[in-house]
Structure 1
């Protein structure tokens, strides 16, 4: 699948930052345009009400609860509705490595569409016995769990149809591993958007090879 630089493809570049919330600072109060009082007596304009104070007509005292605290009456923002998208794990076996050596797990996830993802998705990499994660990881906020055998990486929303994302997990093989094919690894993707769970998991093998003889 082709990855374009204009898309939030985390395999090539970091996700674009979310638009900052514009904060408008309060300006200097302008001069009053109220006409000057006709008489020289006291102003007839009502005094500004103090926060939480009742009026003479209501006969109430100091306000309580949200009135006193000035709590916002705006409704809470609605959560994004899950999109109609199909996330799929594509199997990619890592490069061979020697006992005690290193290789990199490529956790490759594509979006079969038809929609762009509107929710974050989590990629879970489970490592075979005898293999340990060894950062730095990509994305950099991937977390190691499961007694060092599971790595979880979270990607943000915005993966378009036909685009992909890749988590890169460097690993080190145990020096006592025998030469051969090491199985038991897997990559799984989880998302509220995904409508087809049949392609959300793929296995991978690591080929353990002999170290090259010194010439």
Structure 2
């Protein structure tokens, strides 16, 4: 099976066209949170460099971790934690997408360092290589800055999601997080 895509890197998915050959389908993928999380059925063979790799039988899951509280105008770090429930080691790369709530902006440096900001700064995408063993985890770290005019209290609307051709159970691929906006303490 061959998979080709055309589009400009950093364009936020606008106008991105993916063609999945060998009797599958042709899909036009639009900008938005869903394009990074969809995969064609049945699971395709994945082109990793010059080698075609059959997807593994692994189950990636997002684990909810709320970031440390921060004051208006302050900073904190989103921990996008993904575990592999197995039974196999991932044979394909996987993508973690962090969606930020209103009033929160990403600030580099990210981990891994090749994470990309897209969708006008509302999302950060991090790609991890194949090879996450069963029972192991991977974490993307996304430092963020809170707007100085945010009210105190819980700030909702943030999400962490994972997508992989290997993933057999998509029901656990997206979890919300909450940032507690707190008063500045004078020590």
Both structures adopt the same fold (TM-score exceeding 0.5): yes
One of 151, 161, 176 as aligned partner of 2:124: 151
Are residues 1:207 and 2:174 paired?
no
Give the direction of change, closer, same or farther, for the CA distance of 1:137–1:77 in structure 2 (3 Å limit).
closer
Q: Which has the larger radius of gyration?
A: 1
Map of 1:72 onto structure 2: none
> In structure 2, how many angstroms separate the alpha carbons of the residues matched to 1:77 and 1:103?
40
Are residues 1:195 and 2:168 paired?
yes
**What's the TM-score, normalizing by structure 1?**
0.63
Stretches of structure 2 that go unaligned for 5 or more consecutive residues are 1-48
**What's the TM-score, normalizing by structure 2?**
0.73
One of 60, 66, 71 as aligned partner of 1:87: 60
Map of 2:73 onto structure 1: 100
> In structure 2, how many angstroms separate the alpha carbons of the residues matched to 1:78 and 1:109?
26
- Please list, as runs of the form range in 1=range in 2, the aligned pairs for 1:5-44 lying within 5 A after superposition: none
Are residues 1:168 and 2:168 paired?
no
- Please list, as runs of the form range in 1=range in 2, the aligned pairs for 1:125-140 lying within 5 A after superposition: 125-140=98-113
Instruction: Give every structure 1 segment of 4 or more consecutive aligned residues whose post-TM-superposition deviation is greater than 3 Å.
Output: none
Aligned length: 139
Are residues 1:122 and 2:95 paired?
yes
> In structure 2, how many angstroms separate the alpha carbons of the residues matched to 1:194 and 1:79?
17
Stretches of structure 1 that go unaligned for 5 or more consecutive residues are 1-75
